[in-house]
Amino acid sequence: MVYSETKLTVISGYDLDGTICSETVWRIDGFMYKHFGMLWAFLRHIVAKPIMRPLENFIIITGRPASDRWYTELWLKMHRIRPKDLYMIPQYGSKITVANYKAKMIQDLNLKAYFENDVEIYTQLKILCPNVKIFLVHVKG
């Protein structure tokens, strides 16, 4: 992991979907996921657009499951977005599960700031990480 080399610098954490990466809900998602599964997941994620480009040292903590890692890393490379590390939830989960996972990572990594676009997750993180600056971001994508 790259993170250990950069431990001494200040690192901010970012959510991915809706914060760095555009988040579009397609009307045909239900049908396409049912019939094409991973192929659809790959296609819809790979055409997403970057909507914010963090400038400082940063890491990404996303609610995307670890099974999405290969095309998530590909998308980041395609758009030259270079987080120090990319943390993904082991398995797909509810917003509460995602919030708990993010809170644990924020604390384990001793982050001072985290940027999140989802109001529910933001609200949970404010409660779970009272000593961290949690920012609610609204980026048009």
Q: Can residue 68 be called a binding residue for Mg ion (CB under 5 A)?
A: no
Taking each continuous run of H as one helix and of E as one strand, the counts in the chain are 4, 5
| Cβ proximity to Mg ion, 17 vs 68, nearer residue | 17
Q: CA–CA distance from 34 to each of 14, 43, 68, 72, 81 (Å)? A: 30, 14, 17, 21, 31
Strand 113-116 and strand 12-14: the pairing is parallel
Q: How far is the CB of 7 from Mg ion (least distance, A)?
A: 26
Number of Cβ within a 10 Å radius of residue 49: 10
Q: How far apart are CA 81 and CA 71, in angstroms?
A: 13
Q: How far is the CB of 70 from Mg ion (least distance, A)?
A: 20
With CB atoms as reference, the residue minimizing the distance to Mg ion is: 18
Give the interface segment with Mg ion, choosing from 28-36, 47-55, 91-99, 110-118 (CB under 5 A). 110-118
| Cβ proximity to Mg ion, 68 vs 118, nearer residue | 118
Given 11, 13, 14, 18, the residue binding Mg ion (CB under 5 A):
18
Q: How far is the CB of 19 from Mg ion (least distance, A)?
A: 5
Q: How far apart are CA 87 and CA 37, in angstroms?
A: 22
Q: Can residue 117 be called a binding residue for Mg ion (CB under 5 A)?
A: yes
| Cβ proximity to Mg ion, 117 vs 124, nearer residue | 117
Q: How far is the CB of 119 from Mg ion (least distance, A)?
A: 10
**Which strands make up the sheet holding 113-116, listed edge to edge?**
86-89, 58-65, 12-14, 113-116, 133-136
Q: Can residue 15 be called a binding residue for Mg ion (CB under 5 A)?
A: yes
Residues that bind Mg ion (CB under 5 A): 15, 17-18, 117-118
